[in-house]
Amino acid sequence: MAVVDGARRTVIEIGRRALGLDVRPSDHTVEVLHSVDGEVPGLDRRETLQLTRIRLLGATGAVIMAVAALGVGAQPVHQNPTSGLRVLGFFARAHTSTLAMCMIGTVLVVMAWLLLGRFAVGGWGGNPVHRLTRSQLDRTLLLWIIPLSIAPPMFSNDVYSYLAQSEIAARGLDPYEVGPADGLGLNNVLTNNVPNIWRETPAPYGPLFLWMGKGIAIVTGDNIIAGVWLHRLLALAGVALIVWALPRLSRRCGVAPVSALWLGAANPLVLFHLVGGVHNDALMLGLMLAGLEFCLRAVEDTHPFDRNAWALLIFGTVVITMSSSIKVTSLIALGFVTMALARRWGGGFKQVLVAGSLLGAIALATTLFISYASGLGFGWIHTLGVAGAVRSWMSLPTAIGVVTGFGGVLLGLGDHTTALLSITRPIAGTIAGFITVRMLVATWTGRLHPVGALGVSLGAIVLLFPVVQPWYLLWAIVPLAAWANRPAFRVPAVAFSAVVSVILMPRGADFYVFQIVESAVAVVIVSLLLIFLTRNVLPWRNQPGVSAPSQRPTPYGVSS
């Protein structure tokens, strides 16, 4: 047994060093973990005035984006409420100008978010001496969300696929067997709004999401605008759950709640793609984090493990399983709850089996209930790989396969991209599985907190997934925002979020090169002019009292 324990510790140490995680054992009291809230004073008068200007800058950008969405958003082909209108319809006729507006608004929001970080986590390498309060952050986030929540969908047409697949279910057909073209017909208004690549494709989503979509379809019928609004309400409910769960999870990891919320909830990827893009990932993430919080309350906060702990554990497990019934990826969270629970019960291999069997039984019962009660069955198991038809440039194995295949074409060896993808994708999947197992063991031994280990695993899964969409990055960024608040993680996460948010086109479609170039030039001019005009009134540079570093160590090797 000693040999096994020694080998296990060695594996965890190697994984820790490979990932650059300077972590500490999780033997910290709740009082220490919760001490991050009150140790940094609030903003002074000058900083509060700067915060007001930053809030206004982000709100202005969000409003500009919302107006521009009338022209370059993912407007429906049919039932477009602005079609034919003189004023509102102008934006759809002036594509270049509207694209420039949207890109300028996007950059303004991203710039405001980066400036807000001065008062949430400090400069790139330090912590703030003064920090904004939770209420100040909540008001800022709400002000930025409202314009995007009433705008037409942006950056993606996926919501129209949701509507079509939900209508198929409402008609009593199996959305896991037929796509919009076969289930509704090519002349159906819902089918016509679905991108051509997905018209023949069955639904890749879990039964809970389509069950809710079925209810929306029954209420709205063929009314596209009403259907989009109700689906956006589901997305906003998911964002609300993220805002609720994230600060609670961050306290467990010794990270300031406003720091976690700034990176995980006010992130432009959340604003643009979960709210603006109406993606069901919002509800998946919200339910996963909320369920994880309830489970950790049972595992970490209850002494002894009484009936209240059992109720919290069962409820949290059900909530996590519900999230996996939207997108199955979130089911991995139960593995980390299992390891944390086994550690609480003694840490032996027998405890792992007992905890895994218990949570697995609850998850299976919940999935069976949802699948049968919804009438959708288990067809979703066979459609999980539907998205693999897309070759995503953000996926490492896909990018390697495509680039290598293109190199073969240049060398006159022929196009072997498909064959290469059949090699790179399984290898990447194996690596992601290995990292996930290593993180599970790290949770079991107490070397990593379950929240952090989950975030690292999801990060590996996302980066090595065959298909990576911009909003998939949030699967890792959001939980890691509650744990890994060190510059080694924060700087790449912030940079990636900002760059990806800026470079994507507002309707997920192609524009002419001259339109993109002209819009980009306008963005650069406006951005430089804004920075010049506000150089003395906004914290573009590190300022004393704003981003001076604090050397206070915090639990799990993170910096709050």
pLDDT digits (tens, 9 = 90+) for 304-359: 888 899 999 999 999 999 999 999 899 999 999 999 999 998 888 898 999 999 99
Cα separation, 328 vs 356, in Å, equals: 18
Burial class (CB in 10 A: 0-12, 13-18, 19+), 345: middle
Cα separation, 44 vs 546, in Å, equals: 10
Tokens of residue 290, six digits: 């909320």
Residue 542: the pLDDT is 66
Helix (H) or strand (E) holding 305: none
Rounded to 10 degrees, the C-alpha dihedral 546/552/554/559 comes to 30
Cα separation, 120 vs 311, in Å, equals: 35
Residue 417: the pLDDT is 67
Residues 112-132: tens digit of each pLDDT: 999 998 888 865 445 567 788
Cα angle value 241/465/501 (rounded, 5°): 60
Residue 549: the pLDDT is 33
Q: Is the peptide bond before 304 cis (omega within 30 degrees of 0)?
A: yes
Residue 24: the pLDDT is 39
**Contact partners, residue 319, CB within 8 Å, separation at least 6:** 287, 290, 291, 294
Residues 10-26: tens digit of each pLDDT: 434 434 433 434 433 33
Residue 269: the pLDDT is 94
Cα angle value 221/182/179 (rounded, 5°): 80
DSSP string, 241-268: HHHHHHHHHHHHTT--HHHHHHHHTS-H
Determine how many CB atoms are found less than 10 A away from the CB of residue 91: 22
Determine how many CB atoms are found less than 10 A away from the CB of residue 133: 12
Ranges of H-type helices in 73-133? 90-93, 95-116
Cα separation, 66 vs 102, in Å, equals: 8
Residue 25: the pLDDT is 36
Determine how many CB atoms are found less than 10 A away from the CB of residue 499: 11
| 74: nearest Cα among 65, 85, 63, 86 | 65
| Alpha carbon separation from 211 to 172, 238, 274, 279 (Å, rounded) | 12, 16, 20, 16
pTM of the predicted protein model = 0.85
How high is the mean pLDDT in each 10-residue block of the chain (560 residues)?
43 41 37 47 83 93 91 78 70 78 92 90 60 90 94 88 91 88 85 83 90 92 90 95 94 89 93 92 95 93 86 95 92 94 88 92 94 86 68 69 69 68 81 91 90 91 83 90 81 87 72 78 88 85 47 37
Residue 319: the pLDDT is 96
Cα separation, 483 vs 487, in Å, equals: 12
Residue 123: the pLDDT is 52
Cα separation, 287 vs 524, in Å, equals: 39
Tokens of residue 163, six digits: 């509507």
Say if residues 359 and 337 touch (Cβ distance below 8 Å).
Answer: yes
Say if residues 134 and 181 touch (Cβ distance below 8 Å).
Answer: no
Radius of gyration of the chain (CA): 24
Cα separation, 295 vs 334, in Å, equals: 9
Tokens of residue 65, six digits: 């984006």
